[in-house]
Amino acid sequence: MEIKFYAPRWGNRHLTWTDFLRQVKAAGYNGIEANLSADADEREEMFTLLKTYELEWIGQHFETTTANFIDHLQQYETRLYALAAAEPIFINAQTGKDFFTKAQNSQLIEVAERISKETGVAIVHETHRGKFSFCTSSTEIYIDKFPNLRLTADFSHWCCVAESYLQDQQEIINKAIQRTDHFHCRVGYPGGPQVNNPEAPEWKEALDFHLVWWDAIIQNHMEKKSDAVTITCEFGPFPYMQQLPFTQEPVSSLWDVNLFMKNLLKKRYQMMMVK
């Protein structure tokens, strides 16, 4: 089984596409996770350079935010069709709202499932604050309702929402792990969705909890004999990354933090697969 790593465009938008993708390639990533720009010239530049650097693209959807459900549904459908037409290896979608009804969020999931079947592009749903999957108990409702629902696991959000390391919610965590096809290796903690540096000894407890969950995802796919597992190293910029007062300088290098996570997990899972 292959473990494939992706770099996020989020947090790197200050770089030109040329500089960003050159760094991604040099750092040994397999590709990037990024949304589809509304600007045609930027889209052309991105796809041309991805081909030049032989990098893959995970399509990312986060733009549908309107609170009016009818408008939200239309925008969500339009954006997913546009992403699918651009032929990413799959789409990672932030879906629904935490305040939408179960019926409304279910309708959005059904739309994604239909579009995936029509286009042949897999769509996975990210566990994310503010979405249908904002916490364990909410996500479990939809896991139980939709047997084909697949997830992008970003458990950092759940730590933040629950203000814990989810020690008393293992049954639901296990359900989510069984449905996970992709994950974001960001480390959260009870006070927020992102520690400032996962390499720092004061965050060892937080990192260790996440490693247990991520190891279980890898183990599940090894047992299923999956061809690959995809991981995006998605520590993000301010306000996720804390800044020094007044200077607005980040307390840690975002690029270095994500690279640390890639190197840590690459070594860890190479060792796991040879045992």
Compute mean pLDDT per 10 residues along the chain, 275 residues long, and list them: 97 97 98 97 98 98 98 98 98 98 98 98 98 98 98 98 97 97 98 97 98 98 96 97 95 98 97 77
Please check whether residue 229 is in contact with residue 4, taking contact to mean a CB–CB distance below 8 angstroms.
yes
- At 275 the pLDDT is 66
φ/ψ (deg, to 5) at 117: -65, -40
Contact 263, 3 (CB under 8 A): no
pTM of structure: 0.97
- Do 100 and 133 contact (CB within 8 A), yes or no? no
Phi, psi of 240 (to 5 degrees): -65, -50
Query: Residue holding tokens 């990533």?
Result: 29
CA atoms lying within 13 Å on the CB side of residue 255: 12
Contact of 127 with 157, CB cutoff 8 Å = yes
Residue 274: the pLDDT is: 73
Cα dihedral across residues 29, 35, 237, 261: positive or negative: negative
Q: Could you give the CA distance from residue 240 to residue 135 in angstroms, rounded to a whole number?
A: 18
Q: Domain 2-274's class?
A: alpha beta
